[in-house]
Structure 1
Amino acid sequence: MKRKLRMGMIGGGKDAFIGAIHRIAANMDGLIELVCGALSSSPEKAIESGRTLFLPEDRIYRNYEEMILQESRLPAGERMDFVSIVTPNHAHFAPAMMALEHGFHVVIDKPITFTLEEAKLLKKKTEETGLSLLLTHTYAGYPMVKQAREMVKAGELGKIRKIIVEYPQGWLSRLSEKDGNPQAAWRTDPARSGKSGCMGDIGTHAAHLAEYISGLKITKLCADLSIVVDGRALDDDGNVLLKFDNGSNGVLIASQIAAGEENALRIRVYGEKGGLEWAQQEPNTLILKWLDAPVQILRAGGHQLSSYAAFNSRTPGGHPEGYLEAFANLYRNFALCVSAKNEGIKAASEAYDYPSVDEGIRGMAFINNVVNSSLSNDKWINFEV
């Protein structure tokens, strides 16, 4: 890598939680620098936010259209290399498409777009331009998630038979969107979040994790979505039965009204020879349960891990790595691949292991199918993409 990549940010300004997370993650390895931003849909707040981050005055933009156009006119040695889009769901597609049309790579939060059709258009545009897109499914960045995936891929568990994935949260147990909580307000608003609330927000994470670790694809599902808190416009709880393309079955539970829970994402994958278990709140640990042997515990930073787990481990064993480091792994891998592309070379194979537009399409299809299933009288529906 001959220089830092230059990043522009859309959204994520003053008081925005996820924008700060993205900036910390992008900065962690010293491969990326923030050079410009259109940090809010409010021009005044965008300018104030840019100044707070000490961006150059002439590269603090009032809106994303202005930023993309002005940056595209700068000399190649000055303009941004990619945009990071950290806006609510309804404001993902337009800036992503405009960035790609003007020659910029894209980082985007999940779900990738507001509709499945928009996600497919982004895929078509990345294929036309040859530009890269990172979808920040954070949990794919954890070393022990990658270890689990490699063990399944190597056949160590045998044929996969069952997958159980759950993501309970409790932060929407009350009608927080009516009490001035801005995160709750947009996530429960169909105009900004889309056709699903809980399943679109965290159910997509659970579905992606199930497919990512197992290497399988969901082919059928049977879903039941609920609005538990009176007065809410979108689902805040749901249960989904799954069928995968190898004939195995699974269960996915996502809830934002599980009072007292924080971010208790947990997955269990069972094969013919044994099973594995990983929990986001104890991310350095992978538990292996064997049919004919004692339980085995693997730890991040330990010996005899896969090259993919080792590539994404940052500290020696016993030094906790978590959410920020997993996020940073995605940014680092993306940066290594974009820089290699710029130089006409190949990055390490492990670097290409990050979620992209195809996972975005799967996520949007998951939302569509879950909502359609919940509204249907059919027990099972085919997973349509």
Structure 2
Amino acid sequence: MSNKIRLGILGGGGDSLIGILHRVASSMYDKYQIVGGVFNPNWEDNIGFAKQIGLPTNRIYKDFDTLIEEELKLPESERIQVVSILTPNFLHFPMANKLLENGFHVICEKPMTTTYEEAKILNQTLKKAQTVFAVTYTYTGYPMVRQMREMILNGELGTIQKVDAQYYQGWINPIIHDKEKRSSTWRLNPEKSGISCCIGDIGTHAFDMLEFVSGVKIESVLADLNYLYSDNKMDIDGTVLLRCSKNVKGVICSSQIATGEENSFIVKVYGDKAGLKWEQENPNYLYLMEDGKPLRVLKPGHSYNSELSLDGTKLPPGHPEGIFDSMGNIYKGVAKAINKEPYNHGEFPTIIDGVRGMNFIEKAVESHQKGNVWVDIENVD
């Protein structure tokens, strides 16, 4: 029997981008073996996809409940250990909650749930289950994002004064301006996506990233969201002002109607000694800015980087690493936790990140609906 962690996958079949991202990431460090799952609710598509990617079909199940029922019949040494949830948002909570109740480890796409209340329930379930839970805020796995975090933790920026994140995409333009399309896509359906599209999909990445790298906690938000059309119930653009711990202030700008933008995620943190800037579309460059000194560019793989950054670097300097590597680093961290090996707490986002992310989404929408007022983010442990 292989000593690899036995992985099951829910969703992510067909031409799903997120599906191939997770499958490649899980294989990257030879820590996991995909042994079963439910890739599609349609049986023919489900079993056909399993054959397409070369999986034995004896553990491809007709639905989620059958997966749990049949896997629990197997000896513990054979059953699936961890399940990745790659389904539409509204299925995240019921699936994750039942998996935890039955002793499985969980890797969950974001947003973790569709409501903050569900997120808190999930956190309580995890406390009882005592298993491993990760939320795939993928960008935290980039080596130079991890370097950014470590430099800030080590005080190289001095006292943090300002945090800033911009996440711009333009993909929803062909959908939002067509009444029939915007009424039929699940992304703009509150019953399937929750109360937010843009903030829930990409704004939450910015929220988690700023807390991850800066070490400050976002305590209050003031949001101004854009729905563009009166019949559209989901935000597709928004600006959120931030009040953080340690008297730090900041801003998150996110948009899915930024025409021509692909995946422009830019993170900036400024201290009284220096500033750092990272851009997702050029992830190998971390810019160090200091008053009166030339701009310095830090790159992955060099000995001047932190242990956490180097642990997530697989190639020699000068060889690009990308989003597959970033997700792979998260899977690697989860594997260490499942195997009870020592790991850095920056190696994968936990359920607390997911809970805070859901709180942020709801508070941003609440702030907008109340006339753009400040509302507090709750502290969760």
TM-score by length of 1: 0.94
The match for 1:108 is 108
Give secondary structure in 2 for the equivalent of 1:246. helix
**1:185 has 2:185 as partner:** yes
**1:374 has 2:358 as partner:** no
What is the percentage of aligned positions where both structures have the same residue? 39
- Greater CA drift, 193-202 or 47-56: 47-56
Following superposition of structure 1 onto structure 2, how do residues 1-385 of structure 1 map, counting pairs within 5 Å? 3-175=3-175, 185-228=185-228, 231-340=231-340, 347-350=341-344, 353-377=347-371, 379-384=373-378
Distance 2:179 2:334 in 1: 38
Distance 2:312 2:345 in 1: 9
Distance 1:335 1:384 in 2: 30
Size of the aligned set, in residue pairs, is 377
Is the 2:7–2:35 contact (alpha carbons within 8 Å) kept by the matching residues of 1? yes
Give secondary structure in 2 for the equivalent of 1:270. strand
Unaligned runs of 5+ in 1: 341-346
Is the 2:224–2:372 contact (alpha carbons within 8 Å) kept by the matching residues of 1? no
Is the 1:83–1:105 contact (alpha carbons within 8 Å) kept by the matching residues of 2? yes
Distance 2:215 2:180 in 1: 41
**Structure 1 residues 146 and 41: CA distance shift in structure 2, 3 A:** same
**Structure 1 residues 203 and 175: CA distance shift in structure 2, 3 A:** same
Cα offset, 1:129, TM superposition: 1.5
Unaligned runs of 5+ in 2: none
The one-letter code matched in structure 1 to 2:357 is G
Is the 1:5–1:31 contact (alpha carbons within 8 Å) kept by the matching residues of 2? yes
Cα offset, 1:333, TM superposition: 1.1
- Per-residue CA deviation, residues 216-272 of structure 1 (Å, 9 max, x unaligned), is 111111100001267533111000110101111001100000000000000111111
Is the 1:170–1:256 contact (alpha carbons within 8 Å) kept by the matching residues of 2? yes
Distance 2:107 2:251 in 1: 30
The match for 1:344 is none
The one-letter code matched in structure 2 to 1:232 is N
Distance 2:96 2:348 in 1: 18
The one-letter code matched in structure 2 to 1:355 is P
**Deviation above 6 Å: which 4+ runs of structure 1?**
179-182
Is the 1:337–1:351 contact (alpha carbons within 8 Å) kept by the matching residues of 2? no
Cα offset, 1:17, TM superposition: 2.1
Distance 1:128 1:352 in 2: 23
Cα offset, 1:45, TM superposition: 2.3
- Per-residue CA deviation, residues 304-335 of structure 1 (Å, 9 max, x unaligned), is 11111111111111000010000000001111
Cα offset, 1:177, TM superposition: 9.2
